[in-house]
Structure formats: structure tokens, C-alpha cells
Amino acid sequence: MLRAGAGVLLGAMLVAGCGGSGGSGDDKGPGPDGTADSASHVSRAAIDVAPGDGAKDVPATGGLRVTVDGGTLTGVTARSADGTAVPGALSDDAHTWRPTGRLSLATRYSVDAYAVDDQGRPAAKHADFTTTVPQHTFIGFFTPENDSTVGVGMIVSLKFNRPITDKKAVEDGVRVTASPSVPVTGHWFGSQRLDLRPRDYWAAGTRVTLQLRLRDVEGAPGVYGTQSKDVRFTIGRDQRSTVDAAAHTLVVRRGGTVLRTLPASTGAPAHTTYDGVMVIAEKYAVTRMNGQTVGFGGEYDIPDVPHAMRLTSSGTFVHGNYWSPAGVFGTTNVSHGCIGLRDVKGGSSQTPAGWFFDHSLIGDPIRVLNSHDRTVAADNGMGGWNLSWEQWQAGSAL
């Protein structure tokens, strides 16, 4: 209301000053030296815009202020180069205007300020300035991918390229919403990883949005975020699988109904498979598995493992196995910790491994029982489901 009113008032004053009184004979004539007596038309309102015109490296907070001496402000408009208005507030005495929020970094702004003196004579001032360009920035690499369809066990994960010290500020800039609605909470693993999940598995068909509002958030001293984007994904059908290491089976349930029971082989006694919930994080039609990459030296190096799906960042997979005798599946545990399903060299959709690969999504949970190993760590892949809701909430900075 103030800006609109100020514009009308300023326009009226300018018309009166330029057009005179329409020839009524009351205008002041030329002075003794033949010049117009213009002093009576000069406003005594002196506007100051801080920072000054052309200023650079202006901070995002505390750097912008408009004041007037000898008058009152009638309107202030501040905009970024893309036209986005800067919200602000006028002091009670109309002598000072300040923005009510942060400015964006690395952004050019323009300010137009208007005032009148005690005689109603208008004054105006324009200034341009540029905010600080941060030398150090951070971003969060997120999963799952935009527009993907994932399983009910999917955990949203952000891995930051720099250590975060102000976890509260960063977590406050991250929001996960769902339809149908469900509370979602974050949990920090160290200073560079933030995972977010609901209390229980997602409901099938849920539409989820990850909102990143990290632009200009100071995650550590002098280190600012650059992201402002939305990531959307959908929860697919409800498929959950259970591996019983003692029974040597992998039971696939969809919507609570057993879809298929597959003979499996888990970790041998010297290399047992983790117990607990693991979630499919990656899928590879074929991949190389080398024992040297996971601490097993030269015990194995298989260049063409078919139908491989990663369960942990430490190297646990559920995958096809064509090199072991067919009789071990369903009877004996022979792996180095992975869950093996019968397959053929080159892979086939007709084998148990091929069928499970084709019927699985990234985000599908797999629970391992009776392996007699420790429960997989919460930060090893998407192991966060092994924490209670209270334990999970305790890891939030908010």
C-alpha cells in the first residue's frame, strides 16, 4: 500500500512542478538576475542507500538499508536482476527501511527509494549493488533420482561434498513431503551425510517430494549452499523379501502375499551375511566382483557376475551365481557374505536370479534372519531401518 501510494504522490508532485498552475498568474516570475527561483522546488529530504551505488561484495544480511534525513520515506522498491522483489519493512517514524530476510549471494540488486520533506516536496534515489560471491560452496548429492519409481524401503540420502558444521541450518533447508502425508525425519551420519525416512516403510503408490532449499545456507563458516530444486519420486508396489540363512531360502512377498520362494546360498561360516534389513541400492545386469576391493585379497575375481543388486556400501550383494554347483542353492551357504541365487553364465530371465532381478526395484527391502552375524550398521547402505524410530529421531539436528 505504501509503495503504490508513494508512486501516485510522486507523480502528482512532478506534474505540478512541471506544468505550473495552468496560467493563473500566481507563479513566481524570474528573479533579479533573470533566472527562475527554483530553490523553493528543491526537496530537503536527503535519501541515503547503503551500500552505495555500484557497491560490490555486499553481505546477504545487514548490508542493505535505506534512510532519509529531513523528510519521510514514502516507498522503497528493491529487486534482484531477475525481477524478484525483496520484502522489507519501514520503521514507525518512516525514516528507515530494511529488508526482512536474507539477500541472495552472487546477485545484482537495484533499489529505488522515494521520500517527501515537510512541505510535501518529493525526492528519489536509485542505487545498484552486487552481493558477495562466496569462494567456498557445498552441494548435496541425492538419491533416489528424480522421476524414479522405487520400493517401499527407500531412504532419501544426501551426501555433501564438504563437511557440515551447522547441521541445523542445513537440515532446515531440506524437506521431504509425501502424498498421502506421513511425517519424515532426518538423521545425520557424521558431518557429510543426511538420510531421511518415515517411521515405517512407505505405503505403495505414495508420491514423495524432496525439496532442497540450500542456496545461500551457510553450512560451515564461509561455506554456502547452491541448490534450490525439487526432486520427485513415486513408491511402487509393496514388495518385501526375507532371507533365512538357516533354511537357505529367499521368500518374496508382495502386498503381504508370498509371490515366490527361491533357493539361496548365503555367507559361509567364515564369512557370514549381515543380519537385519538391507535395501537394494543399485542394480547391474552384469558386474565384476573382485575380492581385493572388499578386503578378501585374491580369493576371487569374477568379471561377469550376472543380475547383481547392491545391498550395502561395504560390498554385500544379492546376485546370480553360475560358478557354484546347482545343488548348493537351498542346502549350503558358500559365499563371502553375499546372497547367491542360481544363474547361468551370461544371465537368463528364466533362472531364480534372473526372475528376482526382473521383479525387484531399487528401494526394495530385504531382511536377513538366522545368519548369526551382527546387524548391519545403519549407515552401511540404507541400513537405517535397523534403528528404532526414537533412535532415528535422536540423530536429527532439529
Total count of domains within the chain: 3
182: cell is 506421513
With respect to residue 267, please indicate whether it lies within any of the assigned structural domains: yes
Identify the residue whose cell numbers are 533416489. 144
**pLDDT in the model for residue 268:** 94
Say if residues 310 and 317 touch (Cβ distance below 8 Å).
Answer: yes
Identify the residue whose cell numbers are 557497491. 55
With respect to residue 4, please indicate whether it lies within any of the assigned structural domains: no
- Range 247-263 average pLDDT: 97
Q: How far apart are CA 331 and CA 39, in angstroms?
A: 104
Domain residue limits at 310:
239-386
Instruction: Judge if 367 and 231 occupy the same domain.
Output: no
CATH number at residue 373: 2.40.440.10
**What is the SS3 assignment for 35?**
coil
φ, ψ of residue 124 in degrees (nearest 5): -145, 155
375: cell is 546387524
Q: How far apart are CA 109 and CA 103, in angstroms?
A: 9
φ, ψ of residue 76 in degrees (nearest 5): -135, 130
Please say if the pLDDT value at position 295 is more than 80: no
**pLDDT in the model for residue 16:** 31
**pLDDT in the model for residue 39:** 59
Query: pLDDT per residue over 26-63, tens digit each?
Result: 443 444 444 445 556 899 999 999 999 999 999 988 99
User: Of the candidates 203, 236, 269, which is a domain's last residue?
Assistant: 236
**pLDDT in the model for residue 13:** 34
b/e per residue, 236-272, with b = 16+ CB within 10 A?
bebbbbbbbbeebbbbbebeeeeeebbbbbbbeeebb
User: Of the candidates 236, 268, 295, which is a domain's last residue?
Assistant: 236
Say if residues 151 and 363 touch (Cβ distance below 8 Å).
Answer: yes
Q: Cα angle at 313 between 139 and 301, to 5 degrees?
A: 130
Active site residues: 319, 338
1: cell is 500500500
Query: pLDDT per residue over 210-241, tens digit each?
Result: 999 999 999 999 999 999 999 999 999 999 99
348: cell is 537368463
Query: pLDDT per residue over 65-104, tens digit each?
Result: 999 999 999 999 999 999 999 999 999 999 999 999 989 9
Say if residues 187 and 176 touch (Cβ distance below 8 Å).
Answer: no
Instruction: Judge if 96 and 148 occupy the same domain.
Output: no
With respect to residue 28, please indicate whether it lies within any of the assigned structural domains: no
